[in-house]
Chains A and B, each alone.
Chain A
Amino acid sequence: MLIVLALILALVPVIAILYPYLRPASAQAPEDESSTFSELDRRWDAAISGLKSAELEYSIGSLPEQDYRALREQYLTEAALVLKAMELEEQQETELLARVEREVRSVRERFHGAPQPRPSEAAGE
């Protein structure tokens, strides 16, 4: 009886450990957490938190107007730069994808000739 119990107990981790090897489709390489976008995302959050904090301190009188304006300008500049960087990254990514798509299309054309218009395009839609 104890041997049966021990086998059952051993089977639990064995099945758990072997499952991903037997079904490799269940395991996929993860996306990198350290993308430029995620870094920009964090910097955006930090700038917004800083701005909110400065606004709170100013509203309750902890921060004189001159200091508040200086801090606000710093945080807004940082937030604007982050937004710009996000747009640039997005634009670069879009351009890169468009370029890849163009390359793929040109390769396909070289092999198969000019693309046939789709039925919807042929109907003038």
Chain B
Amino acid sequence: MIVDAGYVALAIALLTIGYVAVASFVGAWQRIPAMVLSARYGLMTVPVLLLVATIALVYAFVNHDFSVAYVADNSNLAMPASYTWVAFYAGNQGSLLFIALVFSILTVAAVLGMGRKLPYTTPYATSVMAGVLTFFMFVIVFLANPLDRLDSMPFDGQGINPLLIHFGMFIHPPVQMMGLISVAIPFSIAIGALLAGRGGRDEWVDQGRLWGMLSWLLLTIGLLLGSWWAYTILGWGGYWAWDPVENSALMPWLAMTAFVHSIMVQKRRGMFRMWNIVIVAIAFTLAEMGMFINRGGPVPSVHSFAQSTMGWLFLFFMGFTLVASLAAFAWRMNTLRSREKLDSWLSRESAFLAQNVLFLAVAFITLWGTIYPVFSRAAQDVTITVGQPFFDRINGPLLLVIVFLMGVGPLLPWRKASARNVLSVVKVPLIGAAVTADVVAAAGVRQPVAVVAVAVCAIAIIGIVHEWVRGTRSRHSKGESYPVAFGRLLMANRPRYGGYIVHLAITMLAIGAIGSSFYEVQRDFNLKPGETASLADYTLQYTNTTSQRFSDREEVTAHFTVRRGDESLGAMETTRSFYSNFNVSATRAAIRSTLVEDLYIVPSEFGDDGSAVIRVLVSPLVWWMWAAGPLFVFGTLLALSPRRQPAYAAIRVPRGSRPAQA
């Protein structure tokens, strides 16, 4: 009965959210406050209804109710209870319900947060968010209901996809899905402001920035965790392969990165008003494209996990939202003129603009490479897949220029910088970069591209550290101790220094990518027990293999003892599991990670005579990529943390105040 109650709750949620979408718009348009409020109250009930449906599904999983088709497809009696959470979103129907639930909660939070600040914009934004949610609810109720029953109940379920049995799966898919759908919130705020005729004023900017940055953070964490999952479980030794599913998460991230920068220019200078509306619409379109590719789009991918035949419905919805937002933009375009113009091409806002253009260029190149197989099939009847070399060759240099601008841009002042000023702020980072290039070249880095890339990263790092050092010294000279001076410096300008911390994290990512892309070494070995293999400074001795049979899989583990030069590094083991139900093998690599490099061992094949074919990789600097994750979170939260009002504000005359009557 609980499952049936969940079923009913889904239907009621669809009707309610449909009403919210229409009533909020009509109420705002016709200026009927009761209708606007009714829509808002209705919206508040939707997360409750979706929570009832979610509880019903979880209840079915926990009780092994295989009469529910989704439960039978994504779990079995052998599945550990802790994986119920993963099974919930392991398939298409459950992931859609998860997205709807999360989005409804985010929507309520956004509406509550901006209701008083943006009373005119909020009803329109609510209508847009409710419209997006209505689409998802329609798909869930009519095409992908996770609570649909089977005609006859099987004795056991099929089980969860083995590739999802990994710690990272507890966080990566939900965060990734939250990231993609959360782009709808800054998009809705922007379109809401546009529809309300307030797009040309800058009231929506604070809320747009807040939700834009939260969305960006979710996308970032999702991408990082996805890379980590691929690195540790897919067993090919890499973390990024420009696969369509990876690209579908990267593209909205690139557009949102551009947005969170350009929105700052609108906040500070009243500029880029049209650009910001366009860029957030592009970001949402790319997020929808990601969902389309994930759900059975026409592009082949090695690891889309929620395949279905409804991808085209998502494509249609993407087209609809794009056309609707373009129409709203065209309708209100005359209200979107910037308050000011660029004072100079040598300014922080110019650097932001250049960076924006480059981010979009990388996003569109990635899009083109991702959907190229579709065009090649249509034009030549041959599916041509664009591989890693294409993306590396085209996107690599552009990303390097972005890192350069990331290093130099924040050092420039707003409005206008003189040539002398530019020289004075970039002098130290440039000298530092030249020294770094010499050092890495002397250390044996020979590839010119790698040397240039490291030097560009050095500009970004030295620029930030140099400013921190000068700022801390300046405060120290006024009597503060160094730690206090540094802490207060960070706290005094949180958006700026939070952004710097995020930039440091980006540089760490870049350093990891440079090291592992240019200097990774790998070799395959066929070893018998007792034999040794050497790669770089490492020597591995293959000890033996152990096998273990579980109800759902057969697991083979290869054991090694590892030395580096004369130093013993102890034992390492790598596992390969075969899931007969799915006819799928999953590997668990043995990874020894240090600040300098990763030693990575993964099994390819086991022979009957006890021999093992293994792949060994030594990847420099990969650790830095994963270490960047916490910095991303810290920097973003610091940048978003509320600030105290400046002292100057005390002299402002609050609205509504009157001089004292004599």
Contact = CB atoms under 8 A, between A and B. Distances in A.
A17 B5 contact: no
A94 B203 contact: no
B154 interface: no
A1 interface: yes
Contacts of A44: 652
A56 interface: yes
B425 interface: yes
A21 B415 CA distance: 51
A120 interface: no
Chain A interface SS verdict (over half): helix
Interface stretch (B36-44, B166-174, B279-287, B439-447): B36-44
Interface in A35-90: 35, 37-39, 41-44, 46, 48-50, 52-54, 56-57, 59-64, 66-67, 70-71, 74, 79, 86-87, 90
A71 B267 CA distance: 18
A29 B117 CA distance: 14
Nearest to A44: B652
A87 to B, nearest CB: 7
A121 interface: no
Contacts of A28: 33
A53 B413 contact: yes
B658 A30 contact: no
Contacts, number: 158
Nearest to B121: A33
A59 B120 CA distance: 42
Chain B interface SS verdict (over half): helix
B38 A21 contact: yes
B402 to A, nearest CB: 22
Interface residues of B, number: 66
A59 B467 CA distance: 11
Given A33-B198, A42-B202, A94-B659, A13 B49 contact: yes
Range, interface on chain A:
35 or more
A49 B41 contact: no
Contacts of B119: 30-33
A5 interface: yes
Contacts of A87: 653
Given A18-B38, A37-B655, A9 B8 contact: yes
B646 A67 contact: no
B268 A26 contact: no
Contacts of A18: 38
B658 A34 contact: no
Given A16-B41, A38-B203, A52-B646, A32 B120 contact: yes
B587 to A, nearest CB: 46
B34 A2 contact: no
16 contacts: A2-B5, A5-B1, A9-B9, A13-B12, A13-B45, A17-B23, A27-B34, A33-B118, A46-B267, A48-B646, A52-B646, A62-B413, A63-B413, A67-B416, A67-B417, A71-B414
Given A20-B41, A24-B33, 14 more contacts: A6-B8, A9-B5, A24-B34, A30-B120, A33-B198, A39-B201, A48-B649, A49-B646, A60-B470, A62-B470, A64-B420, A67-B420, A70-B416, A79-B648
